[in-house]
Amino acid sequence: MHNSQESVIKIEIDSGFKCKSRDSIKKSILNHLTYTLSKDKFSATKLDIYMSVALAVKDYLSERWSKTQRTYHNEKAKRVYYLSLEFLMGKSFLNSLVNLGLYDEFNDVVKELGSSLEEIDAAEFDAGLGNGGLGRLAACFLDSMATMELPAYGYGIRYEYGIFFQRIANGYQIETPDPWLRYGSPWEIPRPEYLYPVKFYGYVQTSTDAEGKYICEWKGFSDVMAMAYDIPIPGYKNNTVNNLRLWAAKSSRDFDLSYFNHGNYEQAVSDKVITETLSKVLYPNDNVFEGKELRLKQEYFFVSATLQDIVRRYKKSHAKDFSRFSDMNAIQLNDTHPAIAIAELMRLLIDIEGLSWDESWAITTKTFAYTNHTVLPEALERWSIGLLAKVLPRHIQIIFEINSRFLSEVAGKFPGDNNILGRMSIIEEGEDKKVSMANLAIVGSHSVNGVSALHSGIIKDTLFKDFYLMWPEKFNNKTNGITPRRWLTVCNPALSNLITEAIGEEWVKDLSRLKKLTPFAVDSSFCEKWEKVKVENKNRLAEYILKTNGVKVDPQSIFDCQIKRIHEYKRQLLNVLHAISLYNILKENPKAINCKRTVIFGGKAAPGYYTAKLIIKLANSVADVINNDPAIDDKLKIVFLANYGVSLAEKIIPAANLSEQISTAGTEASGTGNMKFALNGALTIGTLDGANVEILEEVGKDNIFIFGHDSNEVNQLKSSGYCSYNYYNSIDSLKQTINMISSGFFSRDDANRFKPITDSLLYNDHYLLFADYESYMETQRQVEKEFVDKKIWTRKSVFNVAGSGKFSSDRTIAEYNSDIWRLKPVPIKP
Ligand code: 26Q
């Protein structure tokens, strides 16, 4: 903002990057230990070691960060801004080393200092600033954008508490706060000079100025300051370090000292605490909307600070000429969570910059693009008009105006069709009128995309059908991807090295090259090494399971993994039903199946989601019975691993044989865990849902286990009066399984504990578990047959990795860039 942001240093400090020699690295670490942390070798704790090593890494990031930002400015590059309420970054230490190309150097130096990269990595907290898929996608995109040398910025909130920690006590989920900032983060750079006021509440005063121009002024508001914290985002082995800017709420009272002198000092301090709650905690809901005032304020808080920052940066090169704004800036909305930005940019351009409505609207729609991540009706954001009008009085006016102009356009396009106006209106009529943020995002953007081919099709044909008829050219697909750096190089070094030995290292930046592995699938010495890597990864996970759960699992058994948020649509329950049925088969005849199985669950339930929490208790109760039944003779083990997150995923995925992707067809927009498993050589058992459809296309039908109804069949079943009870009655093993649950076989202390689950399956079964049960069971028997033939399985494992090239987020980002953002890459010179 003010001149406090201008540099005053006149001397030349740009004399090339720091030396990467082991000697300088060692010096730098010891300097940080001695001078930054004031510790010595006697007083240094594990945390101090981590901090000083991380700060040494950060030094390499900082110089590249400055150079990158300066280059973008000097070259007047077009930028993309990725706005998201969630960035699920995980740990940064190993990832930074890999991307900086300093892994071997640091590895040697920390060994010399008596530590290890593994030990240092263990001391880091995950940055868990997200719930699940949407937040992790944002983190993968940042890595890809930096790797592809795109002038890109992430913008979000610096939550003091990320996604809660999960413990399992007596089989139940217990939530505790995530204190990731308790010891400070070595990766963030506070920027107290980047500070913007954000207004809330108050009213709008209208008047006409001297030239007769209509003026709106926001009055009587209270404000909160947004302060920037920057996190460096290094590209893979280039000199690009992009920026993730997260906003923290600070009381505006801190900047108005007179306030504390007004008599009521204690009240003043307590007001300050209240305003700072804004960025305290991430809402732990995944795929469900909750219309809380504080959440709305979080959304507007970060949007308002972000747009002020974008406009400030634009004005540095263009002053008050906004005619080039959309040529210089693209803004991607990660779902509708930041969609209030559409009304906010209109407000800034009209009320603050003095542009006309039409000019402002042209700029806005050319700048914004919207990505939809879910079709579940309960996840769509629909804010009540009353709440919006109270918190954002000017924005509600702007939204009404956008809507009225838009509806005139609709009426012109579809004359005589009255229903269509109601369906497309941004304002939903009814007792409690609502603003549909999805409709606002579509109307205010030039691009609307889904996240897999199937999902984008559903958006066009069903969810946003009317909008598609009106503007077919706006709609497009961008199939999700994952970054191969974190999800292979970092988390599975042994497999990465084996792949590099076979086909060279170019795959890390061009994942389509994994195709070259195909011939190795029939090379027996290669396959032996491949199998050995998987077994070693499984041994490591088995040790972890023994340590955390006290359960001994056989590393030779098939590691069958379902790790993701707990949600009914993802059907963890179907997996549990299978485990019980398998138990029954083995009880009847222990020789019936000669493939040992370890079923691994991980995932958090939203704290307010009763059924999801009961599913966790059921999984743990079933595990207790089966794991302790001597008649099962270790042929089947079930474990629920607590506190699933990015770091636990990095342990589990490299050790997996089977990836469970079993959502009801048509419900999972894409899935990205499915891609991580395939890239690490697991085979998928899945429905034709989300990106599973495209994984099938890439790996071929012989290398994936597809079961169940497809999305068309799901729709047919539902519209023809689906009755789950009939399946229960006609499938014996299903009946037996359900009866065991409902009669208290897994809940001896409370026979009715799981009644809510069995009743909902028997009398509703919204997600069609019973309809897919038989097909799932048969397909699991096929899995067992193929797993016991190690040669066949390993070959298919190699084919899965070879077929995963499409699922790099580099490919996804390249598509966003060529179809939507149209940025030129800006290489950063050494
Ligand atoms: C909205 C308003 C208020 C409170 C919470 C929310 C909210 C928060 C998170 C709504 C939805 C989400 C998360 C959605 C999500 O993670 N969707 C997933 O996105 C992935 C990336 O595209 C897909 O792969 C998954 O299929 C999809 O479920």
Report d(CA 244, CA 608) in Å as an integer.
30
Helix axes 133-147, 809-816, angle to 10 degrees: 80
Point out the residues that are catalytic.
373, 564-565, 570, 672, 676
CA 492 to ligand 1 center in whole angstroms? 27
Residue range 94-100: average pLDDT?
A: 98
CA 374 to ligand 1 center in whole angstroms? 6
Report d(CA 153, CA 741) in Å as an integer.
50
Q: Torsions phi, psi of 38, nearest 5?
A: 55, 50
pLDDT at 1: 43
Residue range 103-121: average pLDDT?
A: 97
Residue 254 has pLDDT above 90, yes or no: no
pLDDT at 257: 64
Two structure tokens written together for 54? 């991380």
267 confidence band (pLDDT: 50, 70, 90): confident
Tell me if 670 CB under 6 Å of ligand 1: yes
Q: Looking up tokens 């306030």, which residue turns up?
A: 259
Query: How do residues 452-497 score in pLDDT, each as one tens digit?
Result: 999 999 999 999 999 999 999 999 999 999 999 999 999 999 999 9
Tell me if 88 CB under 6 Å of ligand 1: no
Share above pLDDT 70 across residues of the chain, in percent, rounded to a whole number: 97
Q: Does an H or E element contain 604, and which?
A: none
**Contacts for 459-465: CB closer than 8 Å, 24+ residues apart:** 459/372, 459/375, 462/375, 463/372, 463/375, 464/372, 464/438
Q: Are strands 172-176 and 368-371 parallel, antiparallel or unpaired?
A: unpaired
Residue 6 has pLDDT above 70, yes or no: no
Two structure tokens written together for 598? 């370890």
Residue range 267-286: average pLDDT?
A: 88
Query: How do residues 382-400 score in pLDDT, each as one tens digit?
Result: 999 999 999 999 999 999 9
Q: Identify whether the C-beta of residue 131 lies closer than 8 Å to the C-beta of residue 565.
A: yes
Tell me if 287 CB under 6 Å of ligand 1: yes
CA 623 to ligand 1 center in whole angstroms? 29
Two structure tokens written together for 454? 């199937």
Residue range 599-625: average pLDDT?
A: 98
Report d(CA 229, CA 317) in Å as an integer.
23
Tell me if 669 CB under 6 Å of ligand 1: yes
pTM comes to: 0.97
- Ligand 1, from 134, 371, 482, 609: best to mutate by most atoms within 8 Å of Cβ? 134
Report d(CA 114, CA 112) in Å as an integer.
5
pLDDT at 2: 43
Tell me if 446 CB under 6 Å of ligand 1: no
CA 774 to ligand 1 center in whole angstroms? 30
Ligand 1 nearest atom to the CA of residue 288, by list position: 10
Nearest to 809 by CA among 99, 142, 93, 127: 142
Give nearest CA residue, ligand 1 atom 10. Answer: 287
Q: If DSSP codes are grouped into helix, strand and coil, which group holds residue 628?
A: coil
**How many other CB atoms are found less than 10 A from the CB of residue 529?**
17
Tell me if 659 CB under 6 Å of ligand 1: no
Could you write out the DSSP letters of every residue in 349-407?
Answer: IIIIT---HHHHHHHHHHHEEEE-----GGGS-EEEHHHHHHH-HHHHHHHHHHHHHHH
Give nearest CA residue, ligand 1 atom 19. Answer: 134
CA 428 to ligand 1 center in whole angstroms? 22
Report d(CA 275, CA 259) in Å as an integer.
15
Tell me if 84 CB under 6 Å of ligand 1: no
Q: Distance between the two ends of the chain, CA-based, in angstroms?
A: 30
